[in-house]
Structure 1
């Protein structure tokens, strides 16, 4: 890319930056630079971002970027605009709104977010789990635990990839209230869920059982420790 074109990108206005941030053919560096400029612009003027996020006529990528920017900017407009978008007909928009609500970091939105753990679209469920992990409110633990064991988290008996996101959310919340759920998932039939469970336990408990133990021995050590914790 020549210098004049790069300068043009750097000096682009809000609409031009939105075009850049949503353009998959532009380098990640330039997309992120445009995104960050839009976050700065949004702190004082949200007109372009708000209108794009709410417009059903705009290109999907631009709406997605605008919604994520709202989550980074925060404030009253974001708190008003984002919740209704969590039930948008398009799963990509629902997922973006949930991620943005997670960026706000407020427990006020836990109820809105955890409902989407039952969304028909797997990407939306994953976004909901990630958002709950960002907010770190233990009141979300029962919903995540239930989602982890739900029949719709499997397809023809096989574990779906979203289940490890539920475990990751429990890890990020970081509360010992998750121990009953993690004790169950410690012996899950999905190896990725088991591995995520061990990592979650290490993070929450603040130590590990790795030294001198293979995976099965670690699982047994964690089982004994968890049972002792839960019996107290």
Structure 2
């Protein structure tokens, strides 16, 4: 007699949690793997106890490699569900023989954010031989935001693996312990540019405490360190940085030799909005490098309307915006923000897609193009674009056959595993008249990683 095998795809399509739980204990181990993966997407708290049981390692599983995947998917599903009843099981799984189970358990503990896991995560960061486990343990400690983890994270800034150092720098920024200020400054000399950039982002969060040391880094021997320091000073926005940045841009004696640093200095001056920078920016308009000239022109435009700028911030992101935008946070179903322009009939939103795995910004831009084409758009264009320091794409769609004619501009980029897109829609003439406000929004956008 044949063994009954449930159709996992059908159970998943029907959100049949009970059926998937039953499949978790099927004698076909591959079906168990498929069921645990499905619960990652459709699970709810009804599945917590079964997933915790599935996560538990037993010596007989050593003979079946597929069981490592079953436990790993179970750990991931528990993180997505977020039920605190899973915390003890996930803590135990930090000692699983399979490294994927360990790092996914660490990641899930970070999502659940229960301080019971603090000590175990610190131990994993300090002792686990696998770099992914140390990396996700550091990230999870950042989510817990407990200063008791500060010392271990500072030590991890010297880890041999760049990804661990980066995650530790990120976590220290989230915790915000002033004890980490000097170690993070030392990281600005790290051999890896991503680690240095993350250290700067964390220093930004310490705001005024970081200004003086960041100003000193404007004279670092490494041009990339000077550039990201200039960027950080602009994002902090304190006017103490105005003249050092202005001199780095176009002072005859202190002008930086690197055009990218000068461009970042111009960009930072625009964000700070201090009128004392205007003559230096105007001088930079005579630069032979278009990159610097463009950044100087954008900065002058920004300073011109800076008295009318406001600042918006939540736990995910911050940006400066012209008060023509009327905004409200909704933070639901992947839509972080919605609003419209009071001067022109333009609607906008900021959206997030989490856990999109291997979907690139380029591929998502193509998806948006397909949607526009299905809507019979008259003209659709796509071009690469730098969006607040992130590599991304602009997709624009025109439809002149509707009344009134409409234009939609979508700006897409990825960061830290998530995909973001800003969406603006209105009449073509209104989009054109509001382009300066859109540019300010894009250029000042900053994710709080």
Same fold (TM over 0.5): yes
In the alignment, is the contact (CA less than 8 A) between 1:22 and 1:62 conserved in 2?
Answer: yes
Indicate which of 77, 96, 114 corresponds to 1:10: 77
Deviation (angstroms), 1:98: 1.7
The aligned residue for residue 228 of structure 1 is none
Indicate which of 154, 157, 178 corresponds to 1:83: 154
Indicate which of 211, 218, 224 corresponds to 1:141: 211
Deviation (angstroms), 1:121: 4.1
> 3-state SS of the aligned residue for 2:117?
coil
Indicate which of 127, 130, 133 corresponds to 1:55: 127
Pair 1:93-2:164 in alignment: yes
Listed one character per residue, the Cα deviations across residues 140-168 of structure 1 (whole Å, up to 9, x for unaligned) are: 333323323222x0xxxxx44x4322112
Work out the CA distance in 1 between the residues paired with 2:77 and 2:263.
Answer: 43
Work out the CA distance in 1 between the residues paired with 2:101 and 2:233.
Answer: 35
- The structure with the largest strand share of the pair is 2
> 3-state SS of the aligned residue for 1:95?
helix
Distance 1:182 1:54, change over 3 A: same
Number of matched pairs:
202
In the alignment, is the contact (CA less than 8 A) between 2:166 and 2:198 conserved in 1?
Answer: yes
In the alignment, is the contact (CA less than 8 A) between 2:145 and 2:175 conserved in 1?
Answer: yes
The aligned residue for residue 228 of structure 2 is 165
Q: How does 1:79-228 map to 2 (within 5 A)?
A: 79-137=150-208, 139-151=209-221, 153=222, 159-160=223-224, 162-187=225-250, 188-205=256-273, 216=285, 219=296
Listed one character per residue, the Cα deviations across residues 174-218 of structure 1 (whole Å, up to 9, x for unaligned) are: 211111321133234444333322332222227897xxx897167
Deviation (angstroms), 1:103: 1.2
Structure 2 portions without partners, runs of 5+: 1-7, 13-34, 40-73, 80-88, 251-255, 287-292, 304-449
Deviation (angstroms), 1:70: 0.7
TM-score, normalisation: structure 1: 0.68
In the alignment, is the contact (CA less than 8 A) between 1:117 and 1:128 conserved in 2?
Answer: yes
In the alignment, is the contact (CA less than 8 A) between 1:163 and 1:193 conserved in 2?
Answer: yes
Report the structure number with the largest CA radius of gyration.
2
- The structure with the largest helix share of the pair is 1
Indicate which of 82, 94, 111 corresponds to 1:39: 111
Work out the CA distance in 2 between the residues paired with 1:215 and 1:176.
Answer: 20
Work out the CA distance in 1 between the residues paired with 2:108 and 2:227.
Answer: 30
In the alignment, is the contact (CA less than 8 A) between 1:68 and 1:99 conserved in 2?
Answer: yes
In the alignment, is the contact (CA less than 8 A) between 1:144 and 1:166 conserved in 2?
Answer: yes
Structure 1 portions without partners, runs of 5+: 24-30, 154-158, 226-232
